[in-house]
Amino acid sequence: MSVPPIPFADLPFTKDEYDRRLELTRTAMAERGIDVLFVEDPSNMAWLTGYDGWSFYVHQGVIVTHDRDPVWWGRNMDANGAKRTAWLPHDHLRPYDDTYVQSSERHPMQHLSALLCEMGFEAACIGVEMENYYFSAKAYVTMMTELPRATLVDATALVNWQRAIKSHEEIAFMRRAARIAEKMVDTAIERARPGVRKNDLVAEVMREAIIGVGEDWGDYPAIVPMCPSGADASAPHITWNGGEFENDQCTFFELAGVYRRYHTPFCRTVYLGAPPDEVKRAEAALIEGLEAGLQAARAGNRACDIADALARPLEAAGIQRGARCGYPIGISYPPDWGERTISLRSEDQTMLQPGMTFHFMPGLWMDTWGIEITESILITNDGPAETFCNRPRRIFVKT
């Protein structure tokens, strides 16, 4: 007895929302002359179909065409996961068997290529996500070999760009994630004190992250908590260890609340003891720049306007910050919660539009210390950006 596809009532989003996403993607494909798009990024797979599973360590993907429902393709043991999470008809699930998994004799892209030929695309223009964590050089070479009459074109970030302006349904999920992020940051600030082991504090933070807020359960983050202290805080991507928090050190907490794969990052800094003047001056300049950047984050302005507004107070204080200061956010899977399209930096001329969402992240990583005070923001129809979270913008000093 066949099982019908999962009802839309049981999916994260409405049918109209998934239809909207497919229409955007197909329009972008048509503009670039792409006949069929192979999407391997799990964030894009979930955005288009609802598919959700920890299966991105093997090759998998969604095949998007112009005239039929997408096709989910992946490992056979994950097909039931597609039945349980994606809106697709079951005859649009086309798995490969385990003989292709981590084999030195065959490659999953041989199976995918045969499927594309079966679908009539052996001589088509096929878009693939070449600059992507999940699409390997071996995958590309195998497809080139197996599809000699096809034209493979780089469709990196084609779907990502369609995700840039969030729907009301997506924004509602990010607001839920924001409440979880606030709870995580509150826990980190409250628990941080000399003598507490870092792994113990992170365990408490992650507990709150998964418990969530009320009926809004927490999902796992695409990036694990970052919480370096002292000189380690000069490096932005150090996680935790079994060491204890110490006096006279800065610790920043880079965290994200997650609801149904939608991320709202949020970072705050704790100083145990009395901050030196150098740190206090940097804090004042950073907060001034953050406030100025929020005022510049308006529809009709550009991504670079946010970065330039942040830079002016920092430069006046003698602080050079060359890195980008933000990126788009939304649905995501490991190893990154950014959307990998727009960058908040002086070179990016992208026009800001209502519904865009960013992690505005003006961290400072100096030679022997570092601080992060950040906001996840929503570009609104009128006025400055709305912040998803609501906590004081300052270093939390605990003496």
Express each pLDDT in 183-218 by its tens digit.
999 999 999 999 999 999 999 999 999 999 999 999
184 lies in the same domain as 149: no
Using the 8-state DSSP alphabet, how is residue 229 labeled?
A: B
- Which of these, 361, 117, 124, lies nearest to 252 by C-alpha position? 361
Write the DSSP assignment of 240-276 as a string of letters.
--SPBP-SSEEEEEEEEEEETTEEEEEEEEEEES---
Looking at the whole model, is its pTM more than 0.75?
yes
Judged by DSSP in three states, 197 sits in strand
111 lies in the same domain as 178: no
Give the residue from 129, 162, 195 where a domain finishes. Answer: 162
How far is residue 98's CA from residue 146's CA, in Å, rounded to a whole number? 20
pLDDT beyond 50 at 17: yes
CB 350 within 8 A of CB 357: no
Give residue-wise pLDDT tens across range 239-272: 999 999 999 999 999 999 999 999 999 999 999 9
- Which of these, 126, 135, 124, 114, lies nearest to 45 by C-alpha position? 135
1 is a domain residue:
no
130 lies in the same domain as 258: no
Cα 274 to chain centroid, rounded: 35
Percent of all residues in the chain with a pLDDT value above 70, rounded to a whole number? 99
Give the residue from 105, 137, 162 where a domain finishes. Answer: 162
Q: Which pLDDT belongs to residue 1? A: 41
- Which CATH number does the domain housing residue 204 bear? 3.90.230.10
158 lies in the same domain as 173: no
239 lies in the same domain as 356: yes
3 is a domain residue:
no
How far is residue 192's CA from residue 197's CA, in Å, rounded to a whole number? 9
Q: State which residues form the domain around 45.
A: 8-162
68 lies in the same domain as 129: yes
125 lies in the same domain as 185: no
147 is a domain residue:
yes
- Which of these, 294, 285, 291, lies nearest to 313 by C-alpha position? 285
Give residue-wise pLDDT tens across range 344-389: 999 999 999 999 999 999 999 999 999 999 999 999 999 999 999 9
Q: How many domains does the chain have?
A: 2
Q: pLDDT grade, residue 323 (50/70/90)?
A: confident
pLDDT beyond 70 at 170: yes
Give the residue from 132, 162, 192 where a domain finishes. Answer: 162
186 lies in the same domain as 329: yes
First-to-last alpha carbon distance for the chain, in angstroms, is 66
145 lies in the same domain as 114: yes
